[in-house]
Amino acid sequence: MKRYVREIFTALFLILALIAGILYFYQRIQAGKRTELINLHTLIASQPEMIIRLNRPQVVASLILTHKDVKSLFHSVVPGVFLSLIEQSPSSSTPLLSVHPQGILFYTKAEDKDVKRFEKEVFKRHFPAYHPTVEKKDDITYAFYPDTANRFFGYYHHEGVLVAGYNLKLLEEVAVRQQDILRDSTLSLQMERYSSDKQAPMNLFFPVSTFDLHFALNDSVTWHAGKEWFATDIFSSEGKICCYARLEMPQALDSLHLSLAADTLSRQIERLLPDLEMESQWFQEDNLLNYTGCTSNPS
């Protein structure tokens, strides 16, 4: 009798272990599906001055190491810990950086193994003297490291997304957006619509409202850039760092107005990326202004 009882308990244990394993893998699959459905553009904190999309993070990391212009560009805008995050990002990922008056945020899809690599290769190396302070708020667990100038670097990892930055309010805003089931997809649609080339190592997005681009076509009609976002592609060519963009223009504009538009674009890029000195070229094709700006000297 005891032998049968032991066999029954063994069978029940094996059944429960099998059920637990199935539930575990089911939860992993469901979590993976939720992560796939999340579009990082929908999480971007409000009122960014610039958004950087890293289509090929490993290529960008290589450019940072080999081109002084790119290295100078990133160091003038992006804190060093973000550069390390880019270097350690999976090659299949497409991280984002959003630049705000309050600071910069880094977004990427990341599995648990990726977060462990970030903690080992990035956070512990940049903040070796401190253990992170952990806080939980509304089901989101934040980790904070003290940095110089009384600043704190923080990040959270939730449902397959890692977000990091130096501004707690921006981090919390993004966390609320991620938890909100009814996400606003407007920004995502705009990013997808205005992106020129996802094969370029980087895309930069600027709100059109941040720069003045309008012309009087005649005494009663004024043209202005109507899109909410202006997109540029960043790539390397003949040792130079170049930006390429297309802008819809009325065919009625003459070459003087088109040249002024190209100069305005160059000034906007140089304002946000002050270490880039651009030499620009442009040509009009139907109603499109094709703009290319490259650094003056090879890196």
4 class by beta-carbon count within 10 Å (0-12 exposed, 13-18 middle, 19+ buried)? exposed
Per-residue model confidence (pLDDT) at position 115: 94
Q: Are residues 107 and 89 in the same domain?
A: yes
Residues 84 and 120 in one domain: yes
pLDDT in tens, 224-238: 565 677 788 888 887
Query: How does DSSP assign 16-74, residue by residue?
Result: HHHHHHHHHHHHHHHHHHHHHH--GGGGPPSS-SEEEEESSHHHHHHHHHH-HHHHHHH
87 with 20, same domain: the answer is: no
Query: Is residue 81 domain-shared with residue 121, that is, in the same domain?
Result: yes
> How many domains in the chain?
3
Shared-domain flag, residues 46 and 175: yes
Mean per-residue pLDDT, 245-251: 72
Q: pTM score, two decimals?
A: 0.76
Residue 279 structural domain? 195-295
- When pLDDT is cut at 50, 70 and 90, the band that residue 195 belongs to is low
Residues 32 and 42 in one domain: no
Mean pLDDT, residues 175-189 taken together: 65
Query: Is residue 111 within 8 Å of residue 160, measured between CB atoms?
Result: yes
Burial of 41 (0-12, 13-18, 19+ CB in 10 A): buried
pLDDT tens-digit series, residues 46-81: 889 889 899 888 888 777 777 766 676 677 678 889
Same structural domain, 140 and 204? no
Residues 229 and 112 in one domain: no
- 12 and 72 fall within a common domain: no
